[in-house]
């Protein structure tokens, strides 16, 4: 367990010092971000010392030295791509070149300069002293073709220290690939046109700014960027600043030169560039904010919803953070090819089309909510992450946890009643990964994040979901209102509290014996093994049947501690962790479980909504971890015939889905589905009619309610034959909105025909059929289908080295691919196959998704044991309920 980067210390100190806050929540944020606040220099310049301080050898890892501090970049990029070349790609030009002048401050006297460059040819390097413009002699420069990506510039002499300024000038050339990283090309077709069009897009997080121009590509090395893009007429360039285009002639050709206003002081990973012929809508009340998208999407009004809610969400944040969005301009753009859902580039946020565009006619409620959710997340980043940034990737969770946690309030402000869903979407998913020994602490030590794979692996559920869960808990732990204000009033235990949750892996299960009040905590692990020695600092909230007013108590030792508070009489029940604000599970003596069960059946409204879901989730997971008889978990689902709320239902379905996955290849499957059908009938009567019909209407955009489309298409394909499959495949290719395309792409995975599934799997690695960005989710859809599961696994296993090579370099999540294709694994042979893959991967020394692989192995081992022990009892229970 990493010690050292102790967030909690910063919290305690910072909050102790600042008693009155003028900038609200940002203060808390700022103190949590340990080293830096925007507008201050990212790194404290080292004090001149007597030490020789003239290193010329490269840094020993992938980190740059900290004594050369970039302050300003002037970057020119000239890209040769045409927007459209009718039917003839031989004339297309996948090429760009440029130059960059970076002003840097030298604090020591090195004989060499190191910065980053990747996949670029550097054609010239000059170094000048800024005040005199005197040119220094450059002995040579070379690129380190290993993971460090260093551009090493050997000087004839040495730089001066003491804050002397230098201008480093480089010229470079690069190629445009369709690889979704750095600056890349993307091909798309407007629905009403036959010709392909081409645009340029960028995704630079975490370490791909160096693929666009040589730079000091670390988040702490913030600077001002003055960008100029020279591009073909008929296209429009966008970047972080405000664009000012004008036409010119270069070598007899027409070009457009677009200069951008200087950016605020910012990290390289937040830069963005797009060159396209997209059109835009202005955000009402925000004249310098636009939503950009393909021309036909704009014309069809698909950007209208985003324009509607942007102002509302932004204003909501400005109010609660008590700080205006700092920059005037903010564009959001929907990109045909984008490897992640969205990226918060400062002033130019990028989205997948399905993340920003919404079609009132065909989109479902969920599609619309997804747009609101992503916008709320990315807008929150304009403060959390952009204005204040982690100094190294090990603290990525600070960025993402704040944005994720805040986004629930942002979406609420946009009119969606789903703040409580944070429990389903973040907390329960975080519980899941974090119940594995191969999970990781939220905050890692800086030294443990030193390779590209180690950085990429951080973009996981721990960072996003556990991070958000822990912040939600912190907010409940602090006095009301203090979280947003960042003010510490009375709470001296904050540091002790936070460090136990941030620095150590996992989370506890609190066991309460209500007859005696004996209370213990232990690490909750899916597979029984010795957990932690260090106890968590747990605040336990609770109610009792005779006293529904919430009280609280704390547990800071492992126990057992006798808590008179938790003792109850024969006819009472106790419920702990009200609204699941604490990141822990609760187990009780069997008697209390049964009393809670009876309460649910008598009158479930007495139990708070969130806890109805959490009781179910806790019980099922306690059963998986052999801490509770599985029949109690199953019995908790019986009362659902009476409950129509989403949170308890979704909690139950998620857990029953695990049963289905474990048993859908066995004779237990029949009774399970019968029971499920019985429970669900009332709720889904309406829905059932469509599903049973299993038909796709001739005009699939008509007649059907959008919310049901996904399920209907899927069951139609499941019941259908090859012709139906081909029909939907054609519809998929013709569909005009990304959300609709996604539903059809999912439906195609529902067929029972093995050869169709195999062919579909082959399509996933052919970017002309399935876009690169959709590869992982398509294979995972196929693996969800019981007929597709073994095919998907064999496919992934067989092509693993190709997949890691072609897709592993970007941020495409191979971890979630592994997670998806092994969901059902519960057999010895499957475990052996996983271990074989792990051995091969070790041999090839490709670390990609190494942690994910460990996690799915551990999960499979737990599943094997669980199925062995529980199959009979589960079967018996379901049979008894029929
Ligand atoms: C495409 O353009 C090239 C160069 O102008 C030309 O030689 C070639 O014939 C064209 N191909 C087609 C299919 O039009
Ligand atoms: C950088 O490139 C731009 C555009 O080609 C050019 O105008 C400018 O002179 C170059 N800068 C230097 C210092 O050569
Ligand atoms: C990269 O290669 C250089 C030699 O060119 C070596 O000094 C450095 O340690 C290597 N860095 C990494 C991270 O492998
Ligand atoms: C840097 O400053 C120190 C103290 O002011 C001085 O002794 C030293 O000579 C300076 N070094 C350079 C390279 O200017
Ligand atoms: C970079 O240099 C290599 C080797 O000289 C050459 O093959 C490649 O085409 C160059 N790339 C660009 C974009 O100029
Ligand atoms: C659990 O994780 C720790 C730390 O990573 C490791 O040392 C230990 O061997 C693991 N235990 C098992 C049973 O895998
Ligand atoms: C629990 O959450 C509900 C919303 O689901 C809220 O109305 C209630 O006030 C919360 N209870 C406590 C004790 O915070
Ligand atoms: C679990 O409960 C069932 C039914 O209540 C019982 O038959 C079974 O023996 C119990 N299992 C264990 C391990 O206690
Ligand atoms: C459903 O509600 C009715 C009326 O309150 C109750 O009698 C019944 O026991 C409940 N059923 C279940 C399974 O909880
Ligand atoms: C389902 O099929 C029945 C009988 O063919 C028909 O009356 C009904 O309208 C269909 N429902 C839907 C939603 O298509
Ligand atoms: Zn984010």
For 213-237, write each residue's pLDDT tens digit. 999 999 999 999 999 999 999 999 9
Position 684 confidence tier, pLDDT thresholds 50, 70, 90: low
For residues 479 and 9, the model is more confident at 479
Whether residue 766 is contained in a domain is answered as no
Q: What's the whole-number mean pLDDT along residues 165-183?
A: 95
Q: What's the whole-number mean pLDDT along residues 345-350?
A: 97
516 and 657 assigned to the same domain = yes
Q: What is the pLDDT of residue 48?
A: 42
781 and 676 assigned to the same domain = no
Answer whether 7's CB lies under 8 Å from 32's CB.
yes
Residue 23 has pLDDT above 90, yes or no: no
Q: What is the pLDDT of residue 453?
A: 84
Which atom of ligand 5 is least distant from the CA of 95?
Answer: 13
Whether residue 820 is contained in a domain is answered as yes
Whether residue 669 is contained in a domain is answered as yes
662 and 800 assigned to the same domain = no
Strand (E) or helix (H) holding 38: none
Residue 240 has pLDDT above 90, yes or no: yes
Answer whether 446's CB lies under 8 Å from 481's CB.
no
- Cβ of 160 closer than 6 Å to ligand 4, yes or no, is yes
Q: What is the pLDDT of residue 646?
A: 83
Whether residue 419 is contained in a domain is answered as no
Position 193 confidence tier, pLDDT thresholds 50, 70, 90: confident
Residue 32 has pLDDT above 70, yes or no: no
493-497, 589-593, 595-599, 682-686: segment of lowest average pLDDT: 682-686
First to last CA, the chain: 48
Whether residue 534 is contained in a domain is answered as yes
Whether residue 282 is contained in a domain is answered as no
Q: What is the pLDDT of residue 513?
A: 97
Residue 616 has pLDDT above 90, yes or no: yes
Strands across the sheet containing 348-352: 279-283, 286-293, 330-335, 348-352, 342-343
Q: How far apart are CA 434 and CA 855, in angstroms?
A: 10
CA of 685: how far to CAs of 677, 690, 847, in Å? Answer: 10, 9, 48
Q: What is the pLDDT of residues 291-343, one digit of tens each?
A: 999 999 999 999 999 999 999 999 999 998 888 887 789 999 999 999 889 99
672 and 792 assigned to the same domain = no
Backbone angles phi, psi at 97, to 5 degrees: -140, 170
Ligand number with the minimum distance to the CA of 640: 9
Q: How far apart are CA 151 and CA 169, in angstroms?
A: 13
- Residues above pLDDT 70, as percent of the chain: 88
Which atom of ligand 2 is least distant from the CA of 99?
Answer: 1
Which atom of ligand 4 is least distant from the CA of 164?
Answer: 14
682 and 801 assigned to the same domain = no
Q: To the nearest whole number, what is the mean pLDDT of the chain?
A: 86
Which atom of ligand 10 is least distant from the CA of 692?
Answer: 1
Q: What is the pLDDT of residue 825?
A: 93
Q: What is the pLDDT of residue 707?
A: 65
- 17, two tokens: 């010092």
Our count of domains for the chain comes to: 2
Active site residues: 378
**Domain final residue, candidates 657, 686, 715:** 686
HSE at residue 528, side-chain half, CA atoms within 13 A, is 9
377-386, 580-589, 835-844, 873-882: segment of lowest average pLDDT: 835-844
Answer whether 568's CB lies under 8 Å from 544's CB.
yes
Atom 1 of ligand 6, residue of closest alpha carbon: 437
- Cβ of 93 closer than 6 Å to ligand 5, yes or no, is no
Q: What's the whole-number mean pLDDT along residues 828-842?
A: 89
- Residues above pLDDT 90, as percent of the chain: 61
- Cβ of 629 closer than 6 Å to ligand 8, yes or no, is yes
Q: What is the pLDDT of residues 375-409, one digit of tens each?
A: 999 999 998 899 888 889 998 998 999 999 999 99
**Most confident of the ranges 45-49, 455-459, 471-475, 606-610:** 606-610
- Cβ of 93 closer than 6 Å to ligand 1, yes or no, is no
For residues 339 and 247, the model is more confident at 247
Question: What's the 163 CA to ligand 11 centre distance in angstroms?
Answer: 35
Q: What is the pLDDT of residue 246?
A: 96
| Residue 560: cis peptide before it, omega within 30 degrees of 0 | yes
Question: What's the 200 CA to ligand 7 centre distance in angstroms?
Answer: 47
Residue 849 has pLDDT above 60, yes or no: yes
- Determine whether the annotation assigns residue 762 to a binding site: no
Position 446 confidence tier, pLDDT thresholds 50, 70, 90: confident
Domain with residue 636: its CATH number is 2.60.40.1910
Position 666 confidence tier, pLDDT thresholds 50, 70, 90: confident
Q: How far apart are CA 191 and CA 12, in angstroms?
A: 56
The boundaries of the domain holding residue 857 are 772-882
Answer whether 559's CB lies under 8 Å from 574's CB.
no
534 and 647 assigned to the same domain = yes
Q: How far apart are CA 37 and CA 26, in angstroms?
A: 10
Pocket test for ligand 5, best of 124, 173, 177, 212 (most atoms within 8 A of CB): 173
Position 53 confidence tier, pLDDT thresholds 50, 70, 90: very low
6-10, 198-202, 361-365, 707-711: segment of lowest average pLDDT: 6-10
Q: Which residues line ligand 9 (CB under 6 A)?
A: 601, 638-639, 641-642
Which atom of ligand 5 is least distant from the CA of 175?
Answer: 13
Atom 4 of ligand 5, residue of closest alpha carbon: 121
Q: What's the whole-number mean pLDDT along residues 405-433?
A: 92
Question: What's the 59 CA to ligand 3 centre distance in angstroms?
Answer: 8
Q: Is 2 helix (H, G, I), strand (E, B) or coil?
A: coil
Q: Which residues line ligand 10 (CB under 6 A)?
A: 689-690, 693
What is the rounded radius of gyration, in angstroms, for the C-alpha atoms of the chain? Answer: 28
Q: What is the pLDDT of residue 693?
A: 54
Beta-sheet pairing, 279-283 with 286-293: antiparallel
Answer whether 269's CB lies under 8 Å from 211's CB.
no
Ligand number with the minimum distance to the CA of 872: 8
Which of 474, 490, 402, 497 has the alpha carbon at shortest distance from 16?
Answer: 490
Angle 514-516-520 from CA coordinates, rounded to 5°: 75
72-76, 300-304, 685-689: segment of lowest average pLDDT: 685-689
Strands across the sheet containing 95-106: 120-129, 164-175, 95-106, 68-79, 224-231, 253-260, 243-250
**Domain final residue, candidates 633, 653, 686:** 686
**Domain final residue, candidates 628, 657, 686:** 686
Q: How far apart are CA 70 and CA 57, in angstroms?
A: 20
Angle 783-749-776 from CA coordinates, rounded to 5°: 55
- 556, two tokens: 């800071």
Q: How far apart are CA 32 and CA 24, in angstroms?
A: 14
Answer whether 176's CB lies under 8 Å from 95's CB.
yes
523 and 621 assigned to the same domain = yes
778 and 681 assigned to the same domain = no
Residue 690 has pLDDT above 50, yes or no: no
Q: Is 369 helix (H, G, I), strand (E, B) or coil?
A: helix
193-202, 243-252, 787-796, 839-848: segment of lowest average pLDDT: 839-848
Residue with the two structure tokens 């051995």: 839
Q: Where do the H-state alpha helices sit in 785-824?
A: 789-798, 800-807, 814-821
Q: What is the pLDDT of residue 801?
A: 85
Whether residue 268 is contained in a domain is answered as no
- Determine whether the annotation assigns residue 377 to a binding site: yes
Q: What is the pLDDT of residue 477?
A: 84
Q: What is the pLDDT of residue 685?
A: 56
Q: Is 544 helix (H, G, I), strand (E, B) or coil?
A: strand
Q: What is the pLDDT of residues 451-470, one digit of tens each?
A: 888 898 898 899 999 999 99
Express the helix, strand and coil content of the chain in percent, nearest 5 each: 40, 20, 35
- 612, two tokens: 């109805």
Residue 42 has pLDDT above 60, yes or no: no
Q: What is the pLDDT of residue 663?
A: 85
For residues 56 and 116, the model is more confident at 116
Residue 36 has pLDDT above 90, yes or no: no
Residue 491 has pLDDT above 70, yes or no: no
- Cβ of 608 closer than 6 Å to ligand 7, yes or no, is yes
Q: What is the pLDDT of residue 813?
A: 75
Residue with the two structure tokens 């900038």: 23
Position 811 confidence tier, pLDDT thresholds 50, 70, 90: low
Residue 268 has pLDDT above 90, yes or no: yes
Q: How far apart are CA 717 and CA 699, in angstroms?
A: 16
80-94, 144-158, 198-212, 727-741: segment of lowest average pLDDT: 80-94
512 and 656 assigned to the same domain = yes
Q: What is the pLDDT of residue 682?
A: 61
Answer whether 622's CB lies under 8 Å from 587's CB.
yes
Atom 12 of ligand 3, residue of closest alpha carbon: 148
- Determine whether the annotation assigns residue 400 to a binding site: yes
Question: What's the 640 CA to ligand 8 centre distance in angstroms?
Answer: 22
Q: What is the pLDDT of residue 427?
A: 96
Q: What is the pLDDT of residue 700?
A: 38
Q: How far apart are CA 771 and CA 820, in angstroms?
A: 18
Q: How far apart are CA 114 and CA 98, in angstroms?
A: 19
Close Cβ partners of 726 (under 8 Å, ≥ 6 residues apart) = none
Residue 17 has pLDDT above 80, yes or no: no
Q: What's the whole-number mean pLDDT along residues 65-92?
A: 86
Whether residue 632 is contained in a domain is answered as yes
Q: Which residues pair with 198 in a beta bridge?
A: 187
637 and 535 assigned to the same domain = yes
669 and 782 assigned to the same domain = no
644 and 785 assigned to the same domain = no
Q: How far apart are CA 32 and CA 5, in angstroms?
A: 11
For 264-321, the DSSP string reads PSB-GGG--EEEE--EEEEETTEEEEEEEE-HHHHHTTTTHHHHHHHHHHHHHHHHHH
Q: What is the pLDDT of residue 123?
A: 97
């Amino acid at each position: 367990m990493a010690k050292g980067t102790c967030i909690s210390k910063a919290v305690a100190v910072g909050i102790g010092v600042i008693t009155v806050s003028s900038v609200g929540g940002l203060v808390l944020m700022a103190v949590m971000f340990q080293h830096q606040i925007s507008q201050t220099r990212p790194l404290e310049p080292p004090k001149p010392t007597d030490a020789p301080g003239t290193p010329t050898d490269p840094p020993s890892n992938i980190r740059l030295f900290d004594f050369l501090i970039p302050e300003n970049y002037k970057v020119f990029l000239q890209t040769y791509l045409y927007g459209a070349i009718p039917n003839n790609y031989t004339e297309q030009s996948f090429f760009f070149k440029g130059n960059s002048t970076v002003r840097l401050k030298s604090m020591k006297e090195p004989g060499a300069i190191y910065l980053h460059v990747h996949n670029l040819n550097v054609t010239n390097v000059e170094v000048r002293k800024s005040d005199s413009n005197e040119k220094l002699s450059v002995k040579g420069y070379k690129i380190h073709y290993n993971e460090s990506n260093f551009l090493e510039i050997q000087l004839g002499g040495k730089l001066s220290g003491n804050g002397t300024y230098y201008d480093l000038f480089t010229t470079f050339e690069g190629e445009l690939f369709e690889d979704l990283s750095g600056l890349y090309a993307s091909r798309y077709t407007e629905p009403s046109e036959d010709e392909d069009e081409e645009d340029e897009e960028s995704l630079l997080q975490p370490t791909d700014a160096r693929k666009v121009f040589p730079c000091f590509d670390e988040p702490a090395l913030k600077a001002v960027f003055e960008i100029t893009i020279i591009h073909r007429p008929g296209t429009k360039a966008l970047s972080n600043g405000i664009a000012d285009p004008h036409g010119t002639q270069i070598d007899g050709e027409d070009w457009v030169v677009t200069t951008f206003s200087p950016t605020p002081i910012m990290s390289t990973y937040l830069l963005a560039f797009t060159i396209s012929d997209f059109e835009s809508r202005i955000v009402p009340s925000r004249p310098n904010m636009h939503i950009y998208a393909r021309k036909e999407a704009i014309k069809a009004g698909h950007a209208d919803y985003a324009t509607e809610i942007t102002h509302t969400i932004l204003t909501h944040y400005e109010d609660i953070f008590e700080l205006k969005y700092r920059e005037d301009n903010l564009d959001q753009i929907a990109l045909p090819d984008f490897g992640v859902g969205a990226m918060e580039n400062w002033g130019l946020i990028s989205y997948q089309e399905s993340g920003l565009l919404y079609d009132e006619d065909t989109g479902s409620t969920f599609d619309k909510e997804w747009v609101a959710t992503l916008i709320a997340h990315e807008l929150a980043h304009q403060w959390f992450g952009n204005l204040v940034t982690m100094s190294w990737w090990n603290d990525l969770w600070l960025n993402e946890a704040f944005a994720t946690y805040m986004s629930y309030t942002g979406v609420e402000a946009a009119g969606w009643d789903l703040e409580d869903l944070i429990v389903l979407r973040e907390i329960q998913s975080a519980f899941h990964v974090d119940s594995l020994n191969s999970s990781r602490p939220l905050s890692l030590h800086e030294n443990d994040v030193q390779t590209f794979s180690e950085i990429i692996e951080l973009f996981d559920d721990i960072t996003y979901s556990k991070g958000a869960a822990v912040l939600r808990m912190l907010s409940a732990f602090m006095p009301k209102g203090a979280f947003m204000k960042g003010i510490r009033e009375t709470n001296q235990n904050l540091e002790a509290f936070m460090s136990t949750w941030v620095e150590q892996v996992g989370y506890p299960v609190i066991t309460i014996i209500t007859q005696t009040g004996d209370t213990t905590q232990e690490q909750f692990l899916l597979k029984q093994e010795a957990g932690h020695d260090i106890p968590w600092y747990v605040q336990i909230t609770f109610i009792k049947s005779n006293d529904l007013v919430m009280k609280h108590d704390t547990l800071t030792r492992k126990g057992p501690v006798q808590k008179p508070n938790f003792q109850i009489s024969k006819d009472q029940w106790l419920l702990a962790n009200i609204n699941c604000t604490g990141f822990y599970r609760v187990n009780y003596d069997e008697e209390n479980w049964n009393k809670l069960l009876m309460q649910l059946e008598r009158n479930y409204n007495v139990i708070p909504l969130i806890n109805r879901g959490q009781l179910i989730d806790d019980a099922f997971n306690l059963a998986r971890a052999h801490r509770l008889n599985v029949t109690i978990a199953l019995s908790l689902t019986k009362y659902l015939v009476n409950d129509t709320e989403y949170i308890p239902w979704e909690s139950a379905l998620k857990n029953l889905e695990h049963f289905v996955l474990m048993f859908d290849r066995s004779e237990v499957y029949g009774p399970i589905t019968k029971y499920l059908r019985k429970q669900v009938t009332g709720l889904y009567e309406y829905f059932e009619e469509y599903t049973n019909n299993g038909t796709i209407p001739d005009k699939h955009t008509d007649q059907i309610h959008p919310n049901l489309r996904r399920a209907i298409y899927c069951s139609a394909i499941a019941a259908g034959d090859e012709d139906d499959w081909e029909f939907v495949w054609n519809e998929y290719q013709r569909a005009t909105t990304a959300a609709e395309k996604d539903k059809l792409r999912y439906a195609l995975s529902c067929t029972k025909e093995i050869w169709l599934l195999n062919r579909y799997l082959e399509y996933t690695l052919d970017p002309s059929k399935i876009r690169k960005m959709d590869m992982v989710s398509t294979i995972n859809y196929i693996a969800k289908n019981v007929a597709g599961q073994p095919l998907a696994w064999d496919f992934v296993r067989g092509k693993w080295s190709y997949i890691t090579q072609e897709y592993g370099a970007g941020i495409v999540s191979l971890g979630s691919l592994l997670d998806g294709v092994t969901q059902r694994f519960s057999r010895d042979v499957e475990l052996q196959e996983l271990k074989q893959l792990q051995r091969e991967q070790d041999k090839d020394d490709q670390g990609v998704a190494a942690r994910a692989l460990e996690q799915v192995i551990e999960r499979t081992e737990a599943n094997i044991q669980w199925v062995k022990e529980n199959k009979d009892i589960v079967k018996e229970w379901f049979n008894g309920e029929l």
